Structure 1
Amino acid sequence: MTALALKKISKSFDKTQVLKDIDIEVNEGEFVVFVGPSGCGKSTLLRVVAGLEDASAGEVWIGDQCVNPIPPSKRGIAMVFQSYALYPHLNVSKNMSLALKQEGIPKDEIAERVAEASRMLKLDGYLERYPSELSGGQRQRVAIGRAIVRKPKLFLLDEPLSNLDAALRMNTRVELANLHKQLKATMIYVTHDQTEAMTLADKIVVLRDGQVEQIGSPMELYNNPVNQFVAGFLGSPAMNFLPADIIGKDASLSVGIRPEDLFLADDGPLLADVTHVEHLGGDTNLIATVGEYNMTVRLFGQHDIEPDQQVKLGFDAAKALYFSADGLRASS
């Protein structure tokens, strides 16, 4: 069943068009991530779904209902923002239950919902604490709990991990993935971080300049990007791009090679000058130049290679991708 359908959604602010004829379908229970660079329109699109912005054209359907004329509070959605937006004078329990009280939910049911959400989020021992007594990760869990207790049709999450440090972001990412499995809920998640998109999503929507570039599962987009933008955006380290004539192909093409598909080879076709080495323990990243072009090589394990060293590189030709001059995927 379709949980959300966006039909020809456009949005303009004065003369600036920020969303352009967007069509997206989200199935019930899916975790869908809107991803793209800053300014691509992903947060605006989420706000249109929520009703915090009106679409200039097109329709938003939640379930079997067009919700364009329906205010945010009546759409059956719950939002989690980058800022926790907790009430400092209310403890955790009251922060989580406030919206339910305002809806007139019976006290017994409120207590049951708060208890269930706090158990899922490991907040049982913090219900009497105030936001100032919590860590950043705990505050974000409270904000998520406040959404859970409402039992919405859609969870909308707008860069909810951006304020957390790297280690906490990874832990909270895992918690969100597990929470999605437990709730079996439909979640729409906005981020500019492609690692979050790849690790969380059932389906990724890649946006650029207010338009959808590609929709698919993480590995579909990683292995079969429709254009050079998607290929370069997904993957860390990012894909390398070289003119195809360097490897004896049509000079009108560029070739994309992922860092992990390159390897050291005495008879390799690419002569690279190493400019920097990242020793990561389990992996070694080489930052190098091939002619005037920069490249990243991801090698498994530890390697005794230093800057200013020359190395020869081979690559897995079967995994190389080719792009025409307009950036679209091309055959080799």
Structure 2
Amino acid sequence: MGSLSLQQIRKSFGATDVLKGIDLEVGDGEFCVFVGPSGCGKSTLLRIIAGLEDTSSGAVMIDGTRVENTAPAQRGIAMVFQSYALYPHLNVRDNMALGLKQAKTPSAVIDSQIAKASAMLSLEPYLKRRPAELSGGQRQRVAIGRAVVRDPKLFLFDEPLSNLDAALRVNTRLEIARLHRELSATMIYVTHDQVEAMTLADRIVVMNGGVIEQVGAPMELYNAPANLFVAGFIGSPKMNFIDGARLGESAKTIGVRPEHIAVNGTEGTWRGTVVHAEHLGADTNLYLDTEKAGLITVRLFGEYAAAPGEELFATPDPARVYRFGEDGKRVG
């Protein structure tokens, strides 16, 4: 299929270093997600893999072959963008077939590939429609289908769900996960949404400021973050960070996830006052102003009756407390 090797990838725009020496290996059939805040370099890295951006230095290897000087069309990749980039005057079938026709693919192969992709993505009823007659989710499925028919070595996704509403994001996310299982294809997926990363990835690459902070399976990053940045980025609501000195700890910073804190009306580790309560049905998020730990977030499963001004005691699970040193790296 399509293995990927990135070796000391650097990219600068003038005096601005955007990528600062990226090393990464992606195996055949792996679903790898690049995640990080805006400006971290994840989309630039994807464009370098695609050949839409040159490197300042370093090697890009697809299936063991260096491709930095290879045109995008010759790299064996297919890319799905945030915008659907469909031709409005062409119907769904012709949008999906266009790249194959330009490559002078035989008609019988085009028909076979379109039939396969449209069945996978439930697009058969829409093949004669034009993009304007489709919903946002259907248009994105067409864009994905256009990539599938090319049978690429690598699928590259650049924030493909950003333009969809919440319900369509969930549905399309499921489609992409199912597609990966059916094709056993290598997929590189860029997003700023850590929920997408956690639910889709075999491995997540957490980027920040042009460097890779940590690479690992979703639950590995959740349970064993390497540093403050990863700990704060993975998980929702985000991890509570407390000055170690406030708690009499030798570590610079203490971290505890909201879901690893219990509350009690009569006793506990930190006494506090409810500042705000978010009643979400399946969960309740409480914001407590505590005497020792400051303002913390507590996530409780199910409905918990609490109102602003109510006094509660919060107790962190001692087995799920994280400690970080002066340099931000986890020390315990």
* Alpha-carbon separation, structure 1, partners of 2:296 and 2:167: 28
Residue number in structure 2 paired with 1:210: 210
Percent identity over the alignment is 59
2:2, 2:29 within 8 Å by CA — same for their partners in 1? no
1:271 equivalent in alignment to 2:271: yes
SS of the aligned residue for 2:93 comes to helix
* Alpha-carbon separation, structure 1, partners of 2:294 and 2:6: 41
Residue number in structure 1 paired with 2:155: 155
* Alpha-carbon separation, structure 1, partners of 2:143 and 2:202: 23
Q: CA deviation at 1:282?
A: 1.7
Q: CA deviation at 1:249?
A: 2.1
Equivalences for residues 99-114 of structure 1 within 5 A: 99-114=99-114
**1:96-117 Cα distance to aligned partner (Å, 9 max, x none):** 0000001111111101100110
Aligned residues: 330
Q: CA deviation at 1:295?
A: 1.5
1:278, 1:284 within 8 Å by CA — same for their partners in 2? yes
Q: CA deviation at 1:326?
A: 1.8
**1:155-200 Cα distance to aligned partner (Å, 9 max, x none):** 0000000000011101111111111000100000000000000000
**1:291-326 Cα distance to aligned partner (Å, 9 max, x none):** 473211011121110011121011111111000122
Q: CA deviation at 1:2?
A: 7.0
1:157, 1:190 within 8 Å by CA — same for their partners in 2? yes
One-letter code of the match for 2:261? L
Equivalences for residues 186-205 of structure 1 within 5 A: 186-205=186-205
Residue number in structure 2 paired with 1:260: 259
Equivalences for residues 82-121 of structure 1 within 5 A: 82-121=82-121
1:158, 1:190 within 8 Å by CA — same for their partners in 2? yes
One-letter code of the match for 1:262? I
2:276, 2:308 within 8 Å by CA — same for their partners in 1? yes
More displaced stretch, 154-163 vs 319-328: 319-328
TM-score with structure 2 length normalisation? 0.97
**1:224-277 Cα distance to aligned partner (Å, 9 max, x none):** 111000000000110001122444422x42111001000113331111221111
TM-score with structure 1 length normalisation? 0.97
2:11, 2:17 within 8 Å by CA — same for their partners in 1? yes
Residue number in structure 2 paired with 1:302: 303
SS of the aligned residue for 1:212 comes to strand
* Alpha-carbon separation, structure 2, partners of 1:55 and 1:213: 20
Residue number in structure 2 paired with 1:325: 326
2:271, 2:312 within 8 Å by CA — same for their partners in 1? yes
* Alpha-carbon separation, structure 1, partners of 2:274 and 2:327: 30
Residue number in structure 2 paired with 1:136: 136
1:278, 1:286 within 8 Å by CA — same for their partners in 2? yes
* Alpha-carbon separation, structure 1, partners of 2:297 and 2:90: 50
2:77, 2:153 within 8 Å by CA — same for their partners in 1? yes
Equivalences for residues 171-190 of structure 1 within 5 A: 171-190=171-190
SS of the aligned residue for 1:329 comes to coil
1:247, 1:269 within 8 Å by CA — same for their partners in 2? no
SS of the aligned residue for 1:330 comes to coil
2:7, 2:58 within 8 Å by CA — same for their partners in 1? yes
* Alpha-carbon separation, structure 1, partners of 2:282 and 2:11: 46
One-letter code of the match for 1:150? R
More displaced stretch, 283-292 vs 83-92: 283-292
* Alpha-carbon separation, structure 2, partners of 1:60 and 1:243: 42
Calculate the aligned-residue CA RMSD, in Å: 1.2
One-letter code of the match for 2:113? R
1:2, 1:25 within 8 Å by CA — same for their partners in 2? no
2:2, 2:186 within 8 Å by CA — same for their partners in 1? no
2:5, 2:61 within 8 Å by CA — same for their partners in 1? yes
* Alpha-carbon separation, structure 1, partners of 2:78 and 2:306: 51
**1:77-131 Cα distance to aligned partner (Å, 9 max, x none):** 0000000000000000000000000111111110110011001001110000000
